[in-house]
Amino acid sequence: RRRLPPGPTPLPVVGNLLDIDRDAPHRSLARLARRHGPLMSVRLGAVHAVVATSPDAARELLQRNNASLAAGRGLDAWRAMGHDAHSVIALPPRAKWHALRRLAAAGLAGPRRLAEQRAVREEKARDLARHVAAKSEEGAPVHVARAAFAAVVGALSQAMFSEDMDPALVDELTDVAIEASVLSGAPNVSDLYPALAAADLQGVRRRAGRLVAWLYGLIDGQIERRRRSRAAGEARRNSNDLLDMMLDMEGEEQEEGWVMNQDVMRALLMELILASASLSAATEWAMAELLQNQDAMKRLQDEIATVVGTNKQMEEADLNRLPYLQAVVNETLRLHPPVPFATGLAEATVEVQGYNIPKGTATFVNIWAIGRDGEVWDEPEKFMPERFLQSEISFFGTDFELIPFSAGRRICPGLSLAAKIVPLLLGSMVHRFQWTPLPEDQDGGDGIDMTEQFGLVMAMAVPLRAVAKKI
Ligand code: HEM
């Protein structure tokens, strides 16, 4: 261990697992890092891991040594139904991974596609505002993450399939997405002791298989419908959507010999749909903070009322003129990054800050802890969007004190989409509505329960419900 980064002494068999709270590993690892340093070794069962907990250490892992540390995460749950063989999240950073990321950009989140899909996102934001207005008239609470997820899935479904998803399916999809996130985020013996993985002792892979099968079924239905309409010679509805792009490549051998087929199509589409749950989680955390910080809420509403007016729906073109809204989003992603860790795997031994990170080490950047680092941020636990008004710091992967989308070659491919849709949805919800948290959900009147539900996407453990009133 002499040349490894310092860390807590591991016990036989369990390593440091007893020091790590399974429901909040980001918090436990942040606490350990305060004692052992920003580049820390830990043993997670049989797996050696290194955790970065400062902007400098994050830069070392995600930028300077990224060529050697960017292998994908082979979570066992991801192996359900052979999904990992086509998974952007799990693939090593080579030709197939590049091609799938390129497809995600061309079909969803690249600059050209984003421009083409602007009207769709605005329509979904209008639908969301209409949903809030309807609830407001009924006097019923809005389930914030569910409502935002429906808007997000609507936008994604249009970009992928050029049509809306059946609302009943969207509801079920929301539950499946939550379950899949929690399941693959929970500690799994198969990941901690890879030698035992084949046995799937906790049944995580089996349970993940059920969810993946449901999601694949949903996507297969879309693919089959499209095959029929193409065979019938029907015109393409929306220039080229992501499904058409993939069907056009079907059967063709790609660089390094992989072939586009239905397995690849459904794996990519599923992953993009699941990943977008982070958009609704971000919106939910922002609303929870605004509900508890009425000054910030008021300032935001005033800004939108002044820039957009009170009779008009917000549009994406307004975003550039809404610096406080942008600051609220930044501050939310600092305090509540929906994906708390950036992960990697060492494909070669590298030296970092004078320590060795041996080949095979799992790497974690604790994004959550960096956002709350007292060395970097004044009053780090406080929600203060103003801190971003005079600051040049952004989340695009170059300022390592704020990396909610990670950085380096595995930076989130959905970043540009998130940067547009989160402020649009949030702005559309607060513009023209006054919000109050639902009294029944307020645990003894102590305010909103901000406990996190750890998972691949970290959402609120007690989903936020709030009552809106039209202004
Ligand atoms: C606020 C919203 C989002 C946040 C905070 C976020 C954050 C992240 C982070 C931190 C990672 C790196 C994870 C790791 O290293 O283990 C990541 C990866 C990824 N994200 Fe996002 N994400 C968001 C939205 C999206 C959206 C909308 C999509 C696609 C529709 C998406 C697709 C992906 C994919 C496919 C990866 C894996 C990339 C790779 O390994 O090469 N994300 N995201």
> Which atom of ligand 1 lies closest to the CA of 342?
15
Query: How many angstroms separate the alpha carbon of residue 151 from the centre of ligand 1?
Result: 18
How far apart CA 238 and CA 159 sit, in angstroms, is 9
Ligand 1 atom closest to the CA of 101, numbered from 1 = 41
pLDDT at residue number 1: 47
- Over the stretch 184-241, which tens digit does the pLDDT of each residue have? 888 899 999 999 999 999 999 999 999 999 999 999 999 999 999 999 988 887 668 9
Helices within 165-320 (DSSP H only): 167-185, 189-192, 204-231, 242-249, 262-275, 277-292, 294-308
Q: Kindly report the protein residue whose alpha carbon is nearest to atom 25 of ligand 1.
A: 414
Asked if pLDDT for residue 439 goes beyond 70, the answer is no
Q: Is residue 313 part of a domain?
A: yes
Residue 9 lies in a domain: no
Q: Is 105 annotated as a binding residue?
A: no
State pLDDT tens for residues 379-413: 999 999 999 999 999 999 999 999 999 999 999 99
Distance of CA 226 to CAs 113, 221, 237, Å?
20, 9, 11
pLDDT, one tens digit per residue, over 95-134 is: 999 999 999 999 999 999 999 999 999 999 999 999 999 9
Q: Which of 67-81, 101-115, 338-352 comes out lowest in average pLDDT?
A: 67-81
Whether 8 is in a domain gets the answer: no
Residue 364 lies in a domain: yes
Domain span at 123: 17-470
pTM: 0.96
What is the count of structural domains for the chain?
A: 1
Residue whose Cα lies nearest atom 28 of ligand 1: it is 414
333 Cα to the center of ligand 1, angstroms:
13
Nearest CA to ligand 1 atom 8: 405
**Test site for ligand 1: of 412, 417, 420, 458, most ligand atoms within 8 A of the Cβ:** 412
The answer to whether residue 10 sits within a structural domain is: no
Residue 27 inside a domain? The answer is yes
Residue 110 domain-assigned?
A: yes
Residues touching ligand 1 (Cβ under 6 Å) are 72-73, 88-89, 101, 108, 271-272, 275-276, 278-279, 282, 337-339, 342-343, 367, 404-406, 410, 412-414, 417-418, 422
Count other C-beta atoms under 10 Å from residue 469's C-beta: 12
How far apart CA 27 and CA 351 sit, in angstroms, is 26
Helix/strand/coil for 410: helix
Q: How far is the CA of 366 from the centre of ligand 1 (A)?
A: 15
Helix (H, G, I), strand (E, B) or coil at 378: coil
User: What CATH number is associated with residue 187?
Assistant: 1.10.630.10
Please name the residue that has the structure tokens 């084949």: 198
**Is 12 domain-assigned?**
no
